[in-house]
Structure 1
């Protein structure tokens, strides 16, 4: 049987709504890094205006480490859907999913090195091969592996961080990064395209070369959780699982509040911020997922959230569009506004541009089957040219 991408009638609306919500959350977290050297600064001291500090803290609590983990959950969920549909056609799952990951890797490399350094697609593509190895495991085993990948590294790394804090004492690590702050400000605001490309590669390497294992340990558990949820039919048997969903919703809410607020009711340091992200991030991701799923069962919830499905259907295109537009707005080869914006005004940009994306995405899905990057991804995966434009009279 000929390989073919997922058809419109096969899509799960709730999954698209969650994807659209995740794109908004990722956008909130990413925006400051479009206009400031986020990698090398302490945001709470870099900006001093009250409204900027409020926005920084609100995003830290509500969005940081919550939405790339949510999207990781969705990636794992989508993997199981993909494998089922490929297997139903008597096609090779390893062959087609490997091609899917390779195409994603290429897109991620182009994105990270030529558009914006904060790419997550490379990580998804590399870590995605792990899913092929475990695709036949039961949901229960996948869930236990995911939990082990959250809590075992957290315990070990927490101990290591405590030792690091004792060794460093009161040393401010950001003092040593002041030169990198000035370098980023100068190059992104005034450099040539190729100077900026060199800086992008440096910034990406700064995070990923030595820190890849930490990023992978954040992504992989969510892959397992998402795959386990899909194998258990979370979105196909919602009514049968309402009791479990409500209990899990309450548990993840309490964990999210406890750990996301940890640095605020104790002390901000390496340990509390790591626990905030390491446990609070996954907990809040699953809490957000369940909140959307439960909300879409009500008329008012479905009405409020349904516009997000259009962004979700074009999630890859919308994610990359944000990078293209705002790297152009802030870098020197565009409007050159790098270093001149603050988080509060960045938040206003996020709100305005996301509304624009909802409107444009709705128009697009009425005219086309796929977003441009989704079409390219499918074409590369299946080796065919999927039908692009709908026959709309």
Structure 2
């Protein structure tokens, strides 16, 4: 392996980035487990809507929704600059670009395997690998330019998608009563009116967990492995065909923002505690009111369009920046460093943690060929399960790194990307020494 593309030595890692990555990849389970352990095709939790379920939903939507994805996207941008640090000039070594593209092409392959073989339809490695391929050519731009491009693409695409959602729902609520009245009178419907009635009936059914898609999901997830495999592949392909372009726009734009933050020294803790306090307060002041209002509207379970669809990317980015600032502020204190240190190990094993969550939830806890817990817990119960899985993974990650250099999935990914077997077990020369937090 050439000097230009040597793997980052453990002693050269930026520990605060590992902490941020660890928190993000662990806490993303809080957002994923509702779709792993219950109906995805229903709009509400049909298992129950207790006070505890409502509180868990409220906390999830206000504090966490989209922010762990956002943090990982910011870290992708920072990671691109770290890896390309020897290719920052236009004539930088071609080997760096070659290694970068090979790593992310293999990440795309891992994403496909995660979606289709490990059967997690909501996986993010596939679109993130594609998005990472797009941003490398922006590495030499000034941070202001990176930030400007990222913000414009992120907010414009988010506004467009949210507006489309809002207008479509508003139009449906306007057209459905008239079409339903014509149908009730026994009069023939036009093609447009028939389509309106179908969309309305499907939406109504989704609120009760009685729609055709819901029944297909129940069958796929409560019978056999083959049925689950078939349902998951169909659902993932539909989800991907509908949203892949939008997700790539979101991810690549946020990665550029992450690259700008890295060049400014913000994401890796180089600014003062006062700076992070100000950033945290300002970001939360923007995000929390928007998210509280949207969540309150969501919790009514009404079918009305929500303005939060249009402002989603604004609140998501602001909340993510608030979390980033909070972690960096905490790490600037002795107590904060001590509390956050355990999450660093998970940040060094992100692929193994991420795949591990799918193995635990989709192959052991919830499927009929495992413990068969699918559909038996509401939001509160699934949140409690997620917290337990997260705690287990933190313990395992810290124990693992006492004896091993790489996690199993990191080892396979890096070995494939560099076409050379990478270290697996620790050697005396691979003592865990991290950069100061």
In 2: Cα distance, 1:154 partner to 1:103 partner: 28
Residue 223 (structure 2) pairs with residue 190 (structure 1)? yes
TM-score (norm 1): 0.92
In 2: Cα distance, 1:182 partner to 1:355 partner: 34
The counterpart of 2:136, out of the listed 132, 138, 142, is 132
Indicate if the aligned counterparts of 2:102 and 2:417 stay in contact, CA closer than 8 A.
Answer: yes
Residue 382 (structure 2) pairs with residue 346 (structure 1)? yes
Indicate if the aligned counterparts of 1:263 and 1:276 stay in contact, CA closer than 8 A.
Answer: no
Q: Which residue of 2 aligns with 1:175?
A: 204
Q: Which residue of 2 aligns with 1:101?
A: 104
Q: Residue deviations 1:254-307, cap 9 Å, x none?
A: 121122123245676444342453221111111111110111000111111111
Q: Residue deviations 1:336-356, cap 9 Å, x none?
A: 322222221111111112111
Q: Which runs of 5+ in 1 are unaligned?
A: none
Indicate if the aligned counterparts of 1:31 and 1:346 stay in contact, CA closer than 8 A.
Answer: yes
The counterpart of 1:203, out of the listed 208, 224, 235, is 235
The counterpart of 2:18, out of the listed 16, 21, 25, is 16
Residue 157 (structure 2) pairs with residue 153 (structure 1)? yes
In 2: Cα distance, 1:53 partner to 1:236 partner: 36
Q: How many Å apart are 1:113 and its aligned residue?
A: 0.7
Q: May I ask how many residue pairs the two structures share in their alignment?
A: 390
Which runs of structure 2 are paired with 1:372-387 in the superposition (5 Å)? Answer: 372-387=408-423
SS in 1 for 2:242: coil
Name whichever of 57-66 and 317-326 sits farther off: 57-66
Q: How many Å apart are 1:231 and its aligned residue?
A: 2.2
In 2: Cα distance, 1:22 partner to 1:237 partner: 17
In 1: Cα distance, 2:361 partner to 2:234 partner: 19
In 1: Cα distance, 2:270 partner to 2:252 partner: 25
In 1: Cα distance, 2:202 partner to 2:59 partner: 23
Give the 3 Å change call, closer, same or farther, for CA 366–87 of structure 1 in structure 2. Answer: farther
The counterpart of 2:260, out of the listed 225, 228, 232, is 228
Q: How many Å apart are 1:5 and its aligned residue?
A: 1.3
TM-score (norm 2): 0.83
Which runs of structure 2 are paired with 1:239-250 in the superposition (5 Å)? Answer: 239=271, 241-250=272-281
Indicate if the aligned counterparts of 2:345 and 2:401 stay in contact, CA closer than 8 A.
Answer: yes
What RMSD, in angstroms, separates the aligned Cα atoms of the two structures? Answer: 2.3
Q: Which residue of 2 aligns with 1:6?
A: 8
Give the 3 Å change call, closer, same or farther, for CA 310–350 of structure 1 in structure 2. Answer: same
Question: Rg larger in 1 or in 2?
Answer: 2
Q: How many Å apart are 1:87 and its aligned residue?
A: 6.7
Indicate if the aligned counterparts of 1:17 and 1:305 stay in contact, CA closer than 8 A.
Answer: yes
Which runs of structure 2 are paired with 1:1-393 in the superposition (5 Å)? Answer: 1-2=2-3, 3-38=5-40, 40-43=41-44, 47-84=48-85, 90-115=93-118, 116-169=120-173, 171=200, 174-175=203-204, 177=206, 178-191=211-224, 193-234=225-266, 238-239=270-271, 241-264=272-295, 269-275=304-310, 277-328=312-363, 329-391=365-427
SS in 1 for 2:35: helix
Give the 3 Å change call, closer, same or farther, for CA 130–271 of structure 1 in structure 2. Answer: farther
SS in 1 for 2:356: helix
